[in-house]
A and B are shown apart, each in its own frame.
Chain A
Amino acid sequence: MNRTRTPKHFDKIVAFYRAHRRMPSHAEVAGIAGLRSKGSTYKLVNRLVDLGLVQRDEKGKLLPGSRFMNLPQLGTVEAGWPSPAEEELLDTMSLEEFLIERPDNTFILKVQGDSMIGAGIMPGDMVLVERGVREKDGDIIIAEVDREWTMKYYRRKNGKVWLEAANSKYKPIYPRQELRIAAVVRAVIRKY
């Protein structure tokens, strides 16, 4: 396998392209690469062109190569070998997969009230909750109290169960009858 390392300054050129949404001029390439001579700059660009990392248009200005579109942090492989990027990405997950572990049991709820402010959950926030799972001491849960959903810490010690707010304004709730716990909070989402 004839494997060549990506020239040192290529990543910086990509970063420039991302930041400015255009390719740098030769003078800017010189600045990026810390080269003083026009000749060395030209040599560097030629090398990038030969590797197919950048292209030149008719006027000699730089155009982005295909590698500008993905997230290239890997070496380049010359002809005949597939880009390893695909396989590497198998070990990543989407934000949805990250937030939602059990899609068939997950519901969303809009937070009302300030009882969980101490846990960083604000009124209007979206919480992702799982139905049909067992709650543990310390979980933030959704329980049914007086025909309404309420979000609190679930506490259980020595066989005693109570609900606790994350706000000193509210007293703990010691349920007299059976406590109906509907769901366990798994994530909070706030969009700005």
Chain B
Amino acid sequence: MSRGRHDNLTISSFPRAVIHIDADAFFAACEQARDPSLRGRPVITGKERNIVASMSYEAKARGVVRAMRLSEVRKLCPDAVFLPSDYETYSLLSKRFFAIVRRFTPDVEEYGIDECFADITGMRRPLKMSFPRIAAAVKEELDRSFGLTFSCGLAPNKTIAKIASKWKKPSGLTVIRGRDIQDFIRGMPVEMVWGIGPQTAAYLDKLDVRTALEFAQKDEDWVKARFSKPFYETWQELNGRMVYELETKEKDTYASIQKVKTFTPPSSDPEFVFAQLSKNVENATMKARRYRLAAGRAILFLKTQDFHGTGAEIRFSRATPFPHEIIAAMGPAFKRLFNPKELYRSTGVVLFKLTEDHIVQPDLFGVTARYERLVKVYEAVDGVRVKYGKHTLFLGSSFYAHKFGQHLGERGDAPKRRKELFKGETERQRLGIPTLM
């Protein structure tokens, strides 16, 4: 390999400065941080679904991985503590996580419930700190405020920052300067790079490219000739340039809305399975109405116990935000898809071709007045939901899904926070402040 190949690389330390911050084993760590009896023990969340949603580092060390069944976990790790997910608490803490990072820079991209990017370019002077010092201060502030740890990576762009935050986990702080990128990606399999999937990795393998460094050191023309734009962009970022800007705007519109729910035990009762689908449609349209969107098309799908899926697409004569219209249209497709000899474990719906609700055109024969009546009906329905809870009013077609909990035995699996209420709190509304317990 000639020296000349290295010219791709940026020499400057931080032409731009981006931190990627990742909470370590977030859900399990939230549980450990509020209950000291869990500290140092293998903790697993996801009890309500019988599948590992998150595991503490103690459990990870014993070989527990995500999506493992709890029965398998018990074999590996008989002393594991299983907890139902408390998404309310995780969301409260997630919001705080972003709020604390925003104390250091306004440019924060919430990339997931437990990770974010922060662009600190230009913040050295106002904060009177070097970039590595800012990254350290962010981490310190987060670790202290939560009682759990975060892993941070500081780099000249998002792709490298992701590599940096993963470099040392848990509780790592890794700084990768532009000129040092090669040292970090030398031995790294190319599929470990953010945005490079198994298909691309397999193709690269055929081209004799196996590590991230081998990819980064290819000529610009070589890359452009063989790969689409996103991979060319990744190549540029591996060489220290910043191509991907942070998406700091909060989401105010959706390309599609998806609702999927698993239920246990699996069922071959068509009424029950259809009710599950109907409940998903109600939840999806509720969200659509909140963002003033109407769906032009929908996909429904059913998944069997052995993870095989079937689905069908439905088109509407006019875009609709109303669940009963979508459910009525799904009836025939459901009958076609449903096989009574199968056991089903989940249903789902995707609404897409979303348009803004207030410019919905009434169809040729549709009576506008009828449409407007429906708008009023659902305004009332949504009003009742806001006041009395999400599932106080629902369609008859969803009845069987509401009659039982989503998972049999769910009653015993409610998060502890929901069971131990303060005076004045109700089953439906609690104080929006996380607890120690």
Contact = CB atoms under 8 A, between A and B. Distances in A.
Contacts of B96: 103-104
A45 interface: no
A8 B422 CA distance: 45
Nearest to B430: A108
Contact of B36 (A124, A131, A148, A192): A148
A180 B144 CA distance: 12
B408 interface: no
A34 B147 CA distance: 64
Contact of B431 (A108, A142, A147, A192): A108
Nearest to B98: A104
Interface in A80-132: 100, 103-110, 124, 126, 128-129, 131-132
A142 B437 CA distance: 11
A109 B422 CA distance: 10
B144 A110 contact: no
Given A104-B145, A131-B144, A183 B37 contact: no
A49 interface: no
A165 B141 CA distance: 30
Given A110-B422, A148-B36, A191-B422, A104 B100 contact: yes
A124 B431 CA distance: 16
Given A131-B144, A131-B147, A191-B422, A107 B433 contact: yes
B434 interface: yes
Contacts of A16: none
Contacts of A110: 420, 422, 435, 437
A162 interface: no
Interface size on B, as a range, is: 20 to 34
A100 B423 CA distance: 19
Contacts of B99: 104
A21 B156 CA distance: 66
A142 B435 CA distance: 13
A106 B437 contact: no
Contacts of A132: 141, 144-147
Given A104-B99, A105-B145, A132-B145, A142 B436 contact: yes
Interface string B406-437: 00000000000000101110000001011111
Nearest to A127: B436
B34 interface: yes
Contacts of A104: 96, 99-100, 145
Contacts of B100: 104
6 contacts: A107-B435, A131-B147, A132-B144, A148-B36, A149-B36, A191-B424
Interface of A: 100, 103-110, 124, 126, 128-129, 131-132, 142, 144, 147-149, 180, 182-183, 191-192
